[in-house]
Chain A
Amino acid sequence: MTALQKWVERHPNPDVPALSIAASGQFSPRQLLEEVRESSDTGLFLEEMIETAITKGPAKLEEVLSLFDGTEPTATIFIHPFITLR
């Protein structure tokens, strides 16, 4: 199970927008998971970032997911504008 799948499972309402990515708008956990399933660059990039932080970084999965649990739609990151977004 991926980090995003676990995030969706634990999220109180996985359909409510939970974070925002500048190039592609607001996403709920479930939407992000769909993005990954459809091989969208946005979802894959976020998942890759999370996986990198878990496998190489100082945090364990539960810690990373708990950080995301507090994220609100005002928190945004830029995604490279040249990538193709669905």
Chain B
Amino acid sequence: MSSILLVRPANDAVAIELSAWAAGVKKLAASSSGTSVGVDLASGAATRAAVDLELPNHEATFFFGHGTPTKLRGAGIDLVDAANVGLAAKRGILAIACSSADTLGPAAIQNNVKAYLGFTKKLTWVTGDPDGQFEPAICAGARQLINGGDMRSAHQEMQVELDKVVAYYHSGAGRTSPNAGLGFVSAFWDFSHLAMHGNGSYTL
């Protein structure tokens, strides 16, 4: 059975919401026959030492929290950066975070990580996802990987689902939502800045 390292620092309101999304992914993995969350570094458990220890031990790392172009961040600390991303060599990384696919993603591939999927710019959504659109779309890649898909199909599935969110707010039922403007531009922004690096054939 393939094992996932889940990292979700939940260190502020933004990261807490992402951590809740990660909990849904964990639940899906628990019902999967081929994949499980081997280690869940949630909240205070998401330390640099714990991440360093666990990165080599799982087929993939799913991160839900804050990011910059060069780092995945925890509570005042860098959890994944160029110095330790190579610990995930021969494995995959899915980063539901801002910006990390800009520089950290390519650095990961240079350090022999097989595949990296994330966003090259800020990840944004309507707070609390009141229309129930963003969480399913942004978590679609994780679901695809858990269900046996490869990283390329995870990327494509996220694109398809984010495009549906764009259409929902632009011309669908969400057009009358008070969130239509922010929902539309946020979804298209996320759609435009989703990026995959490395081997698209990578599977868990």
Contacts and interface: CB of A to CB of B under 8 A. Distances in A.
Interface string B56-68: 0000000000101
A83 to B, nearest CB: 8
Contact of A53 (B17, B176, B184): B184
B188 A57 contact: yes
B166 A79 contact: no
B189 interface: yes
B185 A74 contact: no
Interface stretch (B19-27, B30-38, B124-132): B124-132
Q: Rank and list the top 9 A-B pairs by shortest CB-CB distance, nearest first.
A: A68-B181, A76-B127, A67-B181, A75-B179, A49-B185, A72-B178, A67-B180, A71-B181, A57-B188
Contacts of A67: 169-170, 175, 180-181, 184
B170 A59 contact: yes
Given A53-B185, A64-B185, A77-B186, A82 B170 contact: no
Interface of A: 19, 22, 45-46, 49-50, 52-53, 56-59, 63-64, 67-72, 74-82
A19 B182 contact: yes
B178 A74 contact: yes
Contact of A78 (B99, B127, B171, B188): B127
10 contacts: A46-B185, A49-B185, A49-B189, A52-B188, A52-B189, A57-B170, A67-B181, A70-B176, A77-B127, A81-B12
Given A49-B189, A80-B66, A75 B181 contact: yes
B98 interface: yes
A81 B66 contact: yes
Contacts of B183: 75
Contacts of A70: 176-178, 180-181
Contacts of B192: 52, 56-57
Contacts of B185: 46, 49-50, 52-53, 64
A82 to B, nearest CB: 7
Given A49-B189, A67-B184, A76 B14 contact: no
Contacts of B180: 67-68, 70-71
A65 B125 CA distance: 18
Contacts of A64: 181, 184-185
A63 B170 CA distance: 8
A32 B46 CA distance: 36
Given A77-B127, A81-B14, A57 B122 contact: no
A69 B189 CA distance: 19
B49 interface: no
